[in-house]
Chains A and B, each alone.
Chain A
Amino acid sequence: EVQVVESGGGLVQPGGSLRLSCAASGFTFSSHWMHWVRQAPGKGLVWVSRINSDGSSTTYADSVKGRFTISRDNARNTLYLQLIGLRAEDTAVYYCVRGSSYYDSTGFYLGEVFDYWGQGTLVTVSS
């Protein structure tokens, strides 16, 4: 059974730091791109960051660029998100999400889909 389980959330003061972890199981972790998506209380989904399967390429939303760092340890089947310089607007549930590529009938790459989501870990930034 595919599972992704987040941890590391909590209450932190503005300007503080946190490291989120995501333990993956039930699939070949090193074959999948992985993502973080967040959801502020009562709000919609916002994509935060992604990392390719071997960790050599990362992408970030403009709102977190320079403050958040995504990384992975394929030997430990674990995804990370380092958060620094936290702001009140970073308060949200952070979801770890598996990405899966899909193709058309001729084998042409069509894109990536978020097919498994963790239950999320809540980060609260407040003094």
Chain B
Amino acid sequence: EVQLVQSGAEVKKPGESLRISCKGSGYSFTNYWINWVRQMPGKGLEWMGRIDPTDSHINYSPSFQGHVTISVEKSITTAYLQWSSLKPSDTAMYYCARQPGNWNPLDNWGQGTLVTVSS
């Protein structure tokens, strides 16, 4: 069974750093890109970026470039999304989703990680 299991909910203060994870299992991890998608409270889906686990090549949305870092450790089939200095506006649900390459859909999604940033 294909699974993307994300790390648990986080509560952080402004200015703190954070890394959340997404572990893939049940499929060949390097055959699928991992995408990250943000959903702010009560809002729609926003694509943040994707990483190719084969070579760690990353495409970021211009809206998120410079604000987050996407990385991967293919040896443990895990992708990461990290912030160096959180803001209250980073409060959102974050989803990872796999994609079998360009022009293809996001065909399996993680359960989501809720990040709350508040002083």
A interacts with B: no
Interface residues of B, Cβ cutoff 8 Å to A: none
